Amino acid sequence: MSKRFYITTAIDYVNGQPHLGHAYEKVITDVIARARRSLGEPVFFLTGTDEHGQKVQQAAQAVGKTAQAYCDELAAQFQALTVALNLSNDDFIRTTEPRHKAVVSALLTKLHDQGDLYKAPYRGWYSWKEETFLTDKDRGPDGTFAPTWGEVTELVEENWYFRMSRHQGWLLDHLEAHPDFVQPDYRRNEILGFLRSVALDDLCISRPRARLSWGIPLPFDPDYVNYVWFDALTNYFSVPAALGDPGALEPLGAYAPKAEGRRPKVEGRSAGDEVRSPEAEVRLWPADVHVIGKDIVRFHAVYWPIMLHAAGVPLPHQVLVHGWWQKDGEKMSKTTGNVVDPLAVVRDWGVDAFRYYVVRELDIGPDGNWTDAGFRARYTAELANGLGNLVNRSLAMLQRYRGGIVPARSDELATEVLQTASRLTAQLRAHQLQAGLITIWGLVNRANQYVDQTAPFKLAKDPAQASRLDAVLYNLVETSRILAVLLWPFLPTTAARITQQLGLNETPDHLSAADWGGLAPGHRIGQPEPLFPRKE
RNA sequence: GCCAGGGUAGCUCAGCGGUAGAGCAGGGGACUCAUAAGCCCUUGGUCGUGGGUUCGAUUCCCUCCCCUGGCACCA
């Protein structure tokens, strides 16, 4: 089997509840994943949680739980989010899983044996209360540390470092040679600017176990655990390796852990069945797209490629960087309460309304602004009155005038529909999701216009116009069918409902079905039902 | 402080040498299949400021102001 299109989200740190930012990143990743499947490519979509580290250890302690129990609870919440958002992820990685830890250890052992890691002392100001080193940024205006830090003393601590700095020139060359490696371009330019102007330091990759126990031990020095980088970033690589992907195991050579042979287990999903077939050989690495937020660009565009390069592992093809959401023009903050709870929106408006709004409102890259009024406006105008009403009036007229029986084929809208599908295909390949929705709605609007121009409700009153009415009705229901196919990556539930109302059994999950003439004359459609009920 | 991007209709943005466009919002109209939805028409702008180049600048150049992002520094 050929290599799958392998796409990942960032893994979420389990120090709080899932919020809009988490949900947004997962939705756009899911749309890309579904789009590639719809285009006929095998896909592997990975998401998960980042569970080690001091904050987790402290948070667990604060509520009197073990770190593991605390992580289990929060991981369950993030897994519930993937279900609520109707994500088609093929696996869900938790960094506390043995399959992940084994790969992290293998990678580090290889680097250690190669001499890419070294131990060195670190001297700094340490807050015993907060259990962290402070920097000059933490000093007050008078040069002292604020009392909130508690006792602060100068401390010397040995730690392990990764020889990152020596790869700076190589990375710069790589970025210059691969314009797609970081997208959008302005993010790439920022990284290029950074690499040209700043000398990279080596990366501190450990914490003494005495100070931080909740982490993956360094395989060559049991007094230390991993600090962030090789733990969190490696998740993208550890899943393919654990699944036995030769593309991931071969670079590790003798260091490779034994593959579990376990196939990804994600319950209750419909998409990507072929991906989960147990016989299929898993070929994922290198990853095609890492979807991340702008706050972690440097880790993914600098640290991660250098880590992989040093280990002799092929690099992912692209880091795709999205922006952040504001609420009503202001930063979302728990303390002020101006937050958007994605689960509440899904509950009140439906998962597809949520998916639609976030993809339609914000292009991948810039920051966006969530307003409840804007959400409501798009829901009403574009989903209910646009798409929903079109499908509803089209099916209702076929039921009323032709008893729900599809008439003879007519190709009046065929050209426009195929042009839409063609344009959308190109946009999906380019990850232009917002543009894709605009393209689809161009067809929605055209079809609504077509109803008024052809006025089937007038034709129905004149028996002499029967064949003309047939033609118009065919164009409308066939357009509705193809809309379901086009919408699938974005609004899978809605797409399935349209197909179902059309009385079809298949799932509209392949763009190849967007070919004109798929509805057979004589087919009996089902009953129309509003897709997006108007709210009050 | 340095680098990049941006300031165009009430809102979100496109245009980038020949005195401006889209969507939404606002106004009007004809219709009735439909979730009182949809369709058609339409009012809105001295294109951030001040200069310059040009026959002519929103469009090119310079100054300044403001916003956003990145980096650095200080705290």
Nucleotide nearest to A139 (CA to C1'): B75
In whole angstroms, what separates CA A347 from the centre of its chain? 20
Residues 337-366 of A with CB under 7 A from strand B: 366
Assign A320 to helix, strand or coil: strand
Token duo for residue A397: 């007229």
Distance (Å, whole) CA A48 – CA A52: 13
pLDDT of A320 > 70? The answer is: yes
Distance (Å, whole) CA A135 – CA A149: 12
Say yes or no: domain A371-514 is CATH 1.10.730.10: yes
Q: Pick the closest to residue A249 from A43, A103, A116 (CA basis).
A: A103
Distance (Å, whole) CA A241 – CA A260: 9
Distance (Å, whole) CA A452 – CA A456: 8
Mark the nucleotides of strand B covered by protein, meaning any atom under 7 Å from a CB: 3-5, 13, 24-25, 31-40, 68-72, 74-75
Q: What is the pLDDT of residue A138?
A: 65
In chain A, the largest separation of any two C-alpha atoms, in whole Å, equals 95
Residues 7-46 of A with CB under 7 A from strand B: none
Contact A391, A346 (CB under 8 A): no
pLDDT of A276 > 60? The answer is: no
Whether omega for the bond prior to residue A184 falls within 30 degrees of 0, making it cis, is yes
For residues A372 and A331, the model is more confident at A372
The contacts of residue A277 (CB under 8 Å, 6+ apart) are: none
Q: If one looks up domain A5-322 in CATH, what number appears?
A: 3.40.50.620
Token duo for residue A107: 């990678």
Token duo for residue A508: 């509209």
Distance (Å, whole) CA A306 – CA A228: 15
Give me the phi and psi of A5, to 5 degrees please: -70, 115
- The reply to whether the CB atom of residue A274 sits less than 7 A from any atom in nucleic acid chain B is no
Residues 176-205 of A with CB under 7 A from strand B: 186, 189-190, 193-194, 197-198
Decide: residue A420, CB within 10 A, 0-12 exposed, 13-18 middle, 19+ buried. buried
- Tell me what the mean pLDDT of segment A503-521 comes to: 96
Q: Which residue has the tokens 């016989």?
A: A279
Contact A203, A161 (CB under 8 A): yes
For residues A29 and A259, the model is more confident at A29
Distance (Å, whole) CA A310 – CA A411: 58
- The reply to whether the CB atom of residue A501 sits less than 7 A from any atom in nucleic acid chain B is no
- The reply to whether the CB atom of residue A409 sits less than 7 A from any atom in nucleic acid chain B is no
Question: Residue ranges of the domains in chain A?
Answer: 5-322, 371-514
- The reply to whether the CB atom of residue A142 sits less than 7 A from any atom in nucleic acid chain B is yes
Tens-place pLDDT, residues A35-74? 999 999 999 999 999 999 988 888 898 899 999 999 999 9
Residue A240 Cα distances to A103, A106, A234, A533, angstroms: 10, 14, 11, 43
Q: What is the pLDDT of residue A122?
A: 82
Nucleotide nearest to A531 (CA to C1'): B35
Vertex A49: Cα angle to A45 and A50 (nearest 5) = 130
Assign A501 to helix, strand or coil: helix
Q: pLDDT confidence of A115, banded at 50, 70, 90?
A: very high
Token duo for residue A222: 């049991």
Q: pLDDT confidence of A126, banded at 50, 70, 90?
A: confident
Tens-place pLDDT, residues A148-189? 777 777 888 899 999 999 999 999 999 989 989 998 888 988
Residues 211-270 of A with CB under 7 A from strand B: none
Give me the phi and psi of A92, to 5 degrees please: -140, 115
Token duo for residue A226: 């991993």
Assign A169 to helix, strand or coil: helix
Beta strand extents in A189-302 (DSSP E only): 203-204, 206-208, 217-218, 221-226, 289-293
- The reply to whether the CB atom of residue A530 sits less than 7 A from any atom in nucleic acid chain B is yes
pLDDT of A277 > 70? The answer is: no
Q: Protein A104 CA to nucleic acid B8 C1', in Å?
A: 53
Which residues sit opposite A48 in a β-bridge?
A93
pLDDT of A274 > 50? The answer is: no
A247-255 contacts, C-beta under 8 A, 24 or more apart: A247/A3, A247/A283, A247/A284, A247/A285, A247/A286, A247/A314, A248/A284, A248/A285, A248/A313, A251/A311, A251/A312, A251/A313, A251/A314, A252/A103, A252/A106, A252/A107, A252/A110, A252/A311, A252/A313, A253/A110, A255/A106, A255/A107, A255/A109, A255/A110
Question: Fold identical between A5-322 and A371-514?
Answer: no
- The reply to whether the CB atom of residue A456 sits less than 7 A from any atom in nucleic acid chain B is yes
Q: What is the residue type of A62?
A: A
The DSSP H or E segment spanning A358 is helix A351-361
For residues A533 and A147, the model is more confident at A533
